């Protein structure tokens, strides 16, 4: 590995203005949005403006065996973009053009640096939308969304990023450019390589162009809030809604800690005595929405929920203000906010909710729990202070137990944040030694020099863990 030669080569190829090498600037690429993971300094930050430049960077990096860390807006919650082994951060933010909006085929083609929300703003005049809406949609890039397979509030009905990516252009570790998938809905031409790269967290290739599927904007929607005096009752209502053949667009839960914190922050009249609230929205054609509204109301009431239905857009916004404020309000309480995303099959949501509450008590850590109850993807949020070593020890044990519980209930370590650095240690528990070994074989086949985002969940230099 000869970093300085590689950086010199890149400066020569791309020009000085596209490469940052001052320590003052490198510090600003030593982290992402993940709490409680160590930062690391890269030797250079490179900002290519097109695929050809990405190819040049990758070839030079390969020649000198220098790690490359693709990076979008750095909003991920897995430590996925931290340059743990040094080398080059490849910022794709300057590749930010929407290349095509093809409303007839319900397709958009974008560069990786396009911000999720910017795409939806551009789509609005066509009456179509790109459904995956991670919490960071206003800042996160499409490249990052694809690499991390982002989820969001609409997962229950609309699915997640992988359900919308139809085509990719990828620069491989040897500099070859491959185009995968395309504009057609149906496409069975060999392995489904598009899916391989979605959620690959920058370890297999650099995504330089994305073709996504779009949907027509639903003509009507209806939101409601249900207040519960019992956490389990709220959880049971979630399962029962699905059992009644209604799939809401969003079905969110806020627990007592979250409700109180949000109310302290916003003063919007939330029921602070409640154990949980559910926020539900159904969308679609008017008649369906009207029918589903009644089903939802009766199921929620059956489980003891006090239901308030939003009349008009303004009331809808008020209802959703509580959900939008959940993380911000919790984050204000303590300096460190550990946001997890362990996910269970939706029928197990009640048990998971109860388990998280007990784990919080057992380790005496403050957990605000909220999240996408409808798809089983909860966000237990531990509020702590990274400087308090003793408390952090308890936090780590609580997190570990949350993971254990999720797996025990047939769930997964991560619903939408990815493994990256933060959950690397836990991955074998889910995949088993064979599963992780298979991932490493794929990694080795595509990136034999191990230059793409090394040190993350498929770590070729860390063989002990996989039991190989």
Partner 1 sequence: MNSFQLADLEEELLRCMKCGNCQAVCPLYRATRQEPLVARGKIRLAQAVLSGEIACTPKIARRFEECLTCLACMANCPSGVRYDRLIIAARAAAVKKRGLPRLLRYAAALLRRPRLFALTMRAAGKVQGLVFKRVPSGGQSPRFRLAADKERIFPRLAPRPYLDFAPEIISPSAGWRGLKVAFFPGCLANYVYPQTAQAAAELLASLGVAVLVPRPQQCCGMPVFTHGDVDLMRKAAIELVRLFSGVDCAALVTVCPTCGEAFLHYYPAVLTGALKEKALALAKKTMDVTDFLSKYNLGAPELWGPVPGKFTYHSPCHLDRGMGVYKQPLALIKGVPEAVFTPLREPAACCGGAGAFSFLSRELSALVLSPKVADIRQTGAQTVLTGCSACRMQLAEGLAKAGLAAEVLHTVEFLARARKRKAS
Which CB atom, from 7 or from 262, has the smaller least distance to partner 1?
262
Q: Roughly how many angstroms between the first and final C-alpha of the chain, as a whole number? A: 26
Residue 100: beta bridge partners? Answer: 109
CB of 6 to partner 1, least distance (A): 21
Contact call for residue 17 and partner 1 (CB under 8 A): no
Contact call for residue 27 and partner 1 (CB under 8 A): yes
Dihedral in degrees, nearest 10, Cα atoms 28, 32, 33, 35? -100
CB of 74 to partner 1, least distance (A): 6
Segment near partner 1 (CB under 8 A), from 1-9, 58-66, 134-142, 284-292? Answer: 134-142
Contact call for residue 97 and partner 1 (CB under 8 A): no
Which CB atom, from 74 or from 181, has the smaller least distance to partner 1?
74
CB of 18 to partner 1, least distance (A): 11
Pick one of 16, 23, 186, 267: the residue that binds partner 1 (CB under 8 A).
23
Euclidean distance between CA atoms 231 and 304, whole angstroms = 11
Which CB atom, from 358 or from 385, has the smaller least distance to partner 1?
385
Contact call for residue 136 and partner 1 (CB under 8 A): yes
Instruction: List the interface residues with partner 1, window 329-358 (CB under 8 A).
Output: 331-332, 335-337
Phi, psi at 49, each rounded to 5°: -115, -5
Q: Which helix (H) or strand (E) holds 62?
A: helix 51-63
Nearest to 235 by CA among 122, 348, 117, 130: 348
Pick one of 19, 48, 83, 91: the residue that binds partner 1 (CB under 8 A).
91
Q: How many helices and strands, by DSSP H and E, does the chain display?
A: 15, 18
Which CB atom, from 139 or from 318, has the smaller least distance to partner 1?
139
DSSP letter string, 247-307? --SEEEEEEHHHHHHHHHHH-S---TT-SEEEEEEEEESHHHHHHHHHHHHHHHHHTTPEE
CB of 321 to partner 1, least distance (A): 13
Contact call for residue 78 and partner 1 (CB under 8 A): no
Euclidean distance between CA atoms 47 and 410, whole angstroms = 42
How many residues make contact with partner 1 (CB under 8 A)? 36
Pick one of 6, 14, 32, 67: the residue that binds partner 1 (CB under 8 A).
32
CB of 96 to partner 1, least distance (A): 7
Contact call for residue 327 and partner 1 (CB under 8 A): yes
CB of 31 to partner 1, least distance (A): 6
Dihedral in degrees, nearest 10, Cα atoms 13, 18, 23, 29? -120
Contact call for residue 31 and partner 1 (CB under 8 A): yes
Nearest to 90 by CA among 14, 184, 180, 166: 14
Which CB atom, from 339 or from 344, has the smaller least distance to partner 1?
339
Euclidean distance between CA atoms 260 and 50, whole angstroms = 48
Pick one of 35, 159, 182, 271: the residue that binds partner 1 (CB under 8 A).
35
**Contact indicator for 211, 167 with CB cutoff of 8 Å:** yes
Pick one of 51, 139, 347, 412: the residue that binds partner 1 (CB under 8 A).
139
Which CB atom, from 336 or from 412, has the smaller least distance to partner 1?
336
Which CB atom, from 113 or from 360, has the smaller least distance to partner 1?
113
Euclidean distance between CA atoms 277 and 230, whole angstroms = 9
326 three-state secondary structure: helix
Residue with tokens 């005595």: 273
The first and second tokens of residue 90, run together, are 């490849």
Contact call for residue 20 and partner 1 (CB under 8 A): yes
Nearest to 91 by CA among 174, 14, 168, 12: 14
Contact call for residue 75 and partner 1 (CB under 8 A): yes
CB of 73 to partner 1, least distance (A): 6
Pick one of 7, 44, 46, 47: the residue that binds partner 1 (CB under 8 A).
47
Residues at the site binding partner 1, with contacts judged by CB under 8 A = 20, 22-25, 27-35, 47, 73-75, 91, 93-94, 96, 113, 115, 117, 136, 138-140, 327-328, 331-332, 335-337
């Amino acid at each position: 590995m000869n970093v300085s030669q590689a950086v010199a080569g890149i400066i020569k190829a791309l020009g000085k203005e596209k490469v940052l090498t001052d320590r003052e600037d490198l510090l600003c690429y030593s982290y992402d949005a993940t709490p409680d993971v160590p930062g690391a300094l890269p030797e250079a930050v490179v900002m290519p403006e097109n695929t050809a430049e990405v190819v040049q960077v990758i070839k030079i990096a390969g020649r000198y065996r220098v790690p490359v860390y693709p990076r979008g807006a750095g909003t991920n919650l897995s430590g996925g973009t931290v340059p743990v082994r040094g080398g080059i951060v490849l910022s794709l933010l300057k590749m930010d053009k929407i290349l095509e909006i093809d409303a007839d085929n319900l397709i958009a083609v974008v560069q990786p640096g396009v911000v999720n929300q910017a795409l939806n703003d551009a789509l609005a005049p066509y009456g179509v939308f790109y459904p995956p809406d991670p919490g960071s949609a206003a800042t996160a890039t499409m490249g990052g969304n694809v690499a991390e397979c982002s989820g969001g509030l609409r997962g229950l009905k609309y699915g997640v990023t992988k359900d919308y990516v139809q085509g990719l252009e990828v620069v491989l570790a040897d500099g070859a450019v491959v185009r995968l998938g395309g504009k057609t809905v149906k496409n069975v031409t060999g392995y489904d390589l598009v899916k391989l790269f979605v959620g690959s967290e920058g370890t297999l290739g650099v995504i330089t162009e994305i073709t996504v599927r779009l949907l027509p904007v639903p003509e009507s929607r209806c939101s409601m809030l249900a207040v519960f005096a019992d956490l389990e009752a709220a959880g049971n209502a979630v399962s029962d809604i699905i059992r009644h053949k209604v799939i809401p667009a969003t079905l969110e839960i806020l627990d007592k800690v979250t409700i109180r914190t949000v109310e302290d922050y916003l003063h919007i009249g939330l029921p602070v005595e409640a154990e949980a609230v559910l926020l539900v929205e159904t969308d679609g054609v008017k008649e369906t929405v009207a029918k589903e509204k009644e089903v939802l109301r009766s199921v929620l009431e059956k489980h003891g929920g006090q239901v308030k239905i939003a009349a008009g857009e303004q009331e809808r916004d008020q209802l959703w203000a509580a959900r939008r404020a959940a993380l911000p309000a919790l984050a204000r309480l303590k300096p460190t906010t550990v946001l997890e995303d362990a996910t269970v099959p939706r029928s197990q949501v009640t048990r998971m909710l109860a388990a998280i509450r007990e784990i919080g008590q057992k380790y005496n850590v403050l957990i605000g729990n909220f999240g996408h109850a409808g798809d089983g993807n909860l966000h237990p949020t531990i509020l702590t202070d990274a400087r308090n070593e003793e408390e952090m020890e308890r936090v780590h044990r609580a997190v570990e137990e949350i993971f254990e519980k999720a797996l025990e209930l047939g769930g997964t370590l991560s619903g939408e944040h990815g493994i990256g650095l933060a959950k690397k240690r836990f991955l074998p528990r889910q995949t088993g030694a064979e599963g992780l070994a298979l991932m490493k074989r794929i990694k080795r086949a595509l990136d034999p020099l191990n230059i793409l985002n090394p040190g993350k969940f498929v770590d070729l230099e860390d063989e002990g863990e996989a039991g190989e």
